[in-house]
Structure 1
Amino acid sequence: MNAGFSAYLNVLRFGAALVVLMSHFGFVRYSGGRWLWIREFNFGSDAVIIFFVLSGLVVAQAASRKRSGLGGFAFDRLTRLWSVAIPALVIGFTLDRIGARIAPSAYEGWFYVPLPFDEQMWRGMSFSNQWGGMATRLGTNGPYWSLSYEAAYYALFAVGFYLRGLWRVLLLAVGLWVFGLNIMLLMPAWLMGAALYFWLARGVLPRRHLALLLAVVPVLAYGAAVATGLPEALLVVTDPLDEVVNLRFSDEPIWSAILGALVAVHLMGMAGLLTDTSLSRVAPRAAWAAGASFSLYLMHYPALQFFGGIMPKSRYATLNEAMLLAAVLMFCALFARLFERPLPTLRAALLRFAMWIRPNPARAPHGSPAD
């Protein structure tokens, strides 16, 4: 993946995080329904599918490039998740409890599940909050559901990529049973991202005219599908299953697979269009913005709920909305500065500590401060 294509992926990742933020901002309790059209078109859920495709692409690249084995893969993935997830759980719990005390009426609804601190921590740190039949919401942090899916995909990919023979078959079977049907229904989109990387790694990119076609047609197809109501029409197929097992966040598996394919084809075309010098001017800014996308995605909902509940309101709706969005964005930027951006430093420190307590290089954990 060249520099231009990497810059585009960074832009796409940050843009998807902003779409998810705006889809939740569209709730009436935050913006009076003026942005509800984002939710009606379901752009937020579609943005999560984009994240899944990007995740499969990046994880497959990391596993193939580093060749550090299962231990190194686990180290990289867990540090990536926990470095943001653990502070998100603690700070999110704190914001929820303080906000519910200051403005209790703002927290009365389906969107807040006040779990005890220890339960929220172990469910969140294990990423089991959506596995099997144990699904639950962690406070107000609705977006945390996708981390449960991501962790499951990492585990299954690691088993398939690093193990062989009977162990691979047995652990894949156990994983499928533990994670459950809902997790598996959205995995095709993630796998399309991984497959895209292995195709890109061959180094055979589409020529310019074909690349342009591959880049543009999926975007037009997505617009046509949304305009004609295709995602809603496809629900007819899975509604009977949803009534039996409660698919929750996986209630659009057919559309999610189609969208994953569209995203993968679009990225295939963009990889052929973008060169090392493409997007060179915006590459540093794109990388900086993408460096906060995980924090923006994971912390915006608790921040929206907290600031939306405690901030004084003026008689100007536009001003209220601008102030709320500004508060949320600044909060997430500070969170990213404290917890997401220092990931390379954290990884290096952990590796030094591991070498100190286990000085034998052959037994030291593999990995790299780079993501």
Structure 2
Amino acid sequence: MNKVTSGYLDMWRVIAAVVVVLGHLNDWSGKGLDLFRPAAGAQGVLVFFVLSGFVISHVVTRREGDWRSYAIARGARLYSVALPALVLTFVVDALCAPLPHWILGDSVTGSPVLQYAAGVTFLTEVWGRHIQIGSNTPYWSMGYEVPFYICFGLAWFLPGRWKWLSLGAVAIFGPRIAIMGLLWLLGAGTQFACRRRWLGARAGAVLFGAAMLSWAVFQVLVHRGAIGWSNTPLYWHKLRDLPGDFFVAGLFAASILGIDAACRERAVPAALMRGVQWIAGATFTLYLMHVPIAQAFLSLVPVRLDTAAGKVALLATILLATLAIAEVTERRKQGWQRLFTRLLAPRAAAPLPVR
């Protein structure tokens, strides 16, 4: 992967995570930040799905050459953030829910044991059954992401006719996960297309410009109500939303293919590259933990979210807390790598790098 493409993907990891946060902030405040409403939530997750498919297909062709190294890398990546997120959610819910400024009220129901068991095993969305983990609304997408990892791993690493077991796994997880898995595969297919270098620099520049322009026009039309796309979370998915979802994902995939071709031989300033990578290295934590961080802040510091000062205070708190927490979660995956290495590849000399 060339450095421009890598930096572009990292930039979009940051944008997608921040857009999800802004969407939730807008929902909580009930007013303001309307510019972000059409682009929030679901579109950020769509970008993450395409990004994930691109990156995972890249690493399996470069350094994760067997199922053990693949499982070690995925396990370390997931649990280094998912388990701390579950713990933080449980603690914040237990301590802050009784306080008067709890923003979700009594909307979270169901057995906590079932919720957290489903969260640990990432079985929150099997066959369309949505299990919310406490007040942590963004965690639902892990119930899609992990099945994508499993099915892709089976298809990639199983020999010969055994690859058909991947289709059986898709059937086990249900039709919604299978349908949205096509977006993940779109990202994987884009990576393979980039490797084959089908486009020249000029064609790539045209494709990138057309994709970005089309995406901007789409945002304006949705914002003005000219396109009836509900932009609901995927666990509420309706068939009429699918064209919009695939259109957005397709434009993002086209932009990756275009910029990869247009900037294949270009360099990126090292300092800029390091900065973007460092910020992107906290986006998984930001995505999974911004809701409990916000819950704790709003319960303890009753700011008004219908004011600019209240929004800025909450957003700054989320970002600063995320950067601090990321230092002990996704930036420190070595312990989880060693654990999964002992479980799955006890004779391995050292765990592989994790993406």
Asked if TM exceeds 0.5, the reply is yes
Counterparts of 1:97 and 1:108, CA distance in 2: 13
Instruction: Tell me the secondary structure at the aligned position of residue 339 of structure 1.
Output: coil
Of the three residues 79, 85, 93, the one matched with 2:90 is: 93
Q: What TM-score, normalized to structure 2?
A: 0.89
- Summarize deviations over 1:194-225 as a string: whole Å, max 9, x none: 011112222x2532221111111011112222
What is the match of residue 310 of structure 2? 320
Quote the offset at 1:91 in angstroms. Answer: 0.8
- Summarize deviations over 1:282-335 as a string: whole Å, max 9, x none: 101000001001001111112222212321337992222221111111221122
Q: Which amino acid aligns with 2:47?
A: I
Q: Which amino acid aligns with 1:285?
A: G
* 8 A contact 2:19–2:44 mirrored in 1: yes
Instruction: Tell me the secondary structure at the aligned position of residue 177 of structure 1.
Output: helix
What is the match of residue 368 of structure 1? 352
Quote the offset at 1:103 in angstroms. Answer: 2.8
Question: RMSD of the TM alignment (CA)?
Answer: 2.9
Work out whether 1:308 is the aligned partner of 2:292. no
Closer/same/farther in 2, CA of residues 206 and 323 from structure 1, 3 Å limit: same
Counterparts of 1:316 and 1:180, CA distance in 2: 40
Work out whether 1:142 is the aligned partner of 2:137. yes
* 8 A contact 1:73–1:367 mirrored in 2: no
What is the match of residue 131 of structure 1? 126
Work out whether 1:222 is the aligned partner of 2:220. no
What is the match of residue 4 of structure 1? 4
Q: How does 1:139-288 map to 2 (within 5 A)?
A: 139-169=134-164, 171-202=165-196, 204=197, 206-229=199-222, 233=227, 248-249=236-237, 252-274=241-263, 275-288=265-278
State the percentage of identical aligned residues: 27
Quote the offset at 1:351 in angstroms. Answer: 6.6
What is the match of residue 43 of structure 2? 46
Instruction: Tell me the secondary structure at the aligned position of residue 98 of structure 2.
Output: helix
What is the match of residue 32 of structure 2? 34
Q: What TM-score, normalized to structure 1?
A: 0.85
- Summarize deviations over 1:230-275 as a string: whole Å, max 9, x none: 9985769xx9xxxxxx951465222212222111111011112334
* 8 A contact 1:55–1:193 mirrored in 2: yes
* 8 A contact 1:57–1:196 mirrored in 2: yes
Counterparts of 2:33 and 2:138, CA distance in 1: 19
Aligned length: 351
Quote the offset at 1:9 in angstroms. Answer: 1.2
Q: Which amino acid aligns with 2:247?
A: I
Quote the offset at 1:189 in angstroms. Answer: 1.5
* 8 A contact 2:130–2:235 mirrored in 1: no
Counterparts of 1:75 and 1:316, CA distance in 2: 45
Closer/same/farther in 2, CA of residues 325 and 198 from structure 1, 3 Å limit: same
* 8 A contact 2:57–2:188 mirrored in 1: yes
What is the match of residue 17 of structure 2? 17
Of the three residues 350, 361, 365, the one matched with 2:339 is: 350
Structure 1 residue runs without a partner (length 5+): 240-245
Quote the offset at 1:104 in angstroms. Answer: 6.5
* 8 A contact 2:14–2:279 mirrored in 1: yes
Closer/same/farther in 2, CA of residues 26 and 84 from structure 1, 3 Å limit: same
Structure 2 residue runs without a partner (length 5+): none
Work out whether 1:57 is the aligned partner of 2:54. yes
Q: For structure 1, which segment, 187-196 or 97-106, has the greater mean C-alpha deviation from structure 2 after superposition? A: 97-106
Q: For structure 1, which segment, 148-157 or 174-183, has the greater mean C-alpha deviation from structure 2 after superposition? A: 174-183
Counterparts of 2:315 and 2:305, CA distance in 1: 17
What is the match of residue 291 of structure 1? 281
Q: For structure 1, which segment, 50-59 or 270-279, has the greater mean C-alpha deviation from structure 2 after superposition? A: 270-279
Counterparts of 1:272 and 1:35, CA distance in 2: 35
Counterparts of 1:208 and 1:295, CA distance in 2: 35
Counterparts of 2:163 and 2:131, CA distance in 1: 29
What is the match of residue 105 of structure 2? 108
What is the match of residue 243 of structure 1? none
- Summarize deviations over 1:61-88 as a string: whole Å, max 9, x none: 1111124311211111111111100110
- Summarize deviations over 1:131-170 as a string: whole Å, max 9, x none: 114321111111111111110111111111111344322x
Quote the offset at 1:32 in angstroms. Answer: 4.4
